Every structure is written in structure tokens, then in C-alpha cells.
Amino acid sequence: MTQYYVLVFKNTLDSIKAEKFLKENSINMTIMPTPTGITQSCGISIKVNPDDINKIKELITENKLTAKAIFGREQSAYRRIYNNEE
């Protein structure tokens, strides 16, 4: 069972834009440091609840939100569920 999801970004500007956008869309989120070992990216990530992940994926698909990748936290490991790395 996934405990939470982590959105990672290419740069700090993308993470700041995402934070603002998620807040405007009433999606509960928390800013956190990017966990070591999951990806080389911006040092700022966003933690979101499992209940919101489908809405977030929809926003990414509609190009309203930019994320480099999404990882699900399961027990003591992260599992990549979305990848937009170039």
C-alpha cells in the first residue's frame, strides 16, 4: 500500500510553480527535500496524499503541471509510477 507520493522536478522554478498551482487547486501537499537515491534532480520535491494522485496525473497530462517524475513510497522503498525524464 502506498503511503504517499513524491513529485520531483527538473529545477526549483518548476517546483515553486507546482506548489502554487496545487495550492490554487486545493490539493493538500507538503514541500520536502528530494529523497536521496531516487533521482538526480532539483533538491525540492512535493509530497502528496494517495487520494490526490489521479487528479495530479490528470493535471500533468493536460500540461497544467510539470513534473520530472512521481514516486510512490511503499514501506521503506520508493517506486517510480510516472516518468518524464528527457
pLDDT tens, residue by residue, 7-22: 999 999 999 999 999 9
When divided into structural domains, the chain yields a total of 1
**Angle at 69 (CA atoms; ends 23, 71), nearest 5 degrees:** 85
What confidence score (pLDDT) does residue 46 get? 97
Where b means 16+ CB within 10 Å and e means fewer, 63-74 reads eebbbbbbbbbe
For 29-78, the pLDDT digits (tens) are: 999 999 988 887 789 999 999 999 999 999 888 888 889 999 999 988 99
Q: What is the DSSP letter of 64?
A: S
**Domain interval for residue 8:** 2-83
Handedness of CA 50, 81, 24, 16 (dihedral sign): positive
What confidence score (pLDDT) does residue 86 get? 57
Q: Distance between CA 58 and CA 13 in Å, rounded? A: 21
As given in the structure block, the three cell numbers for residue 78 are: 520508493
> Could you tell me the CATH number of the domain that includes residue 12?
3.30.70
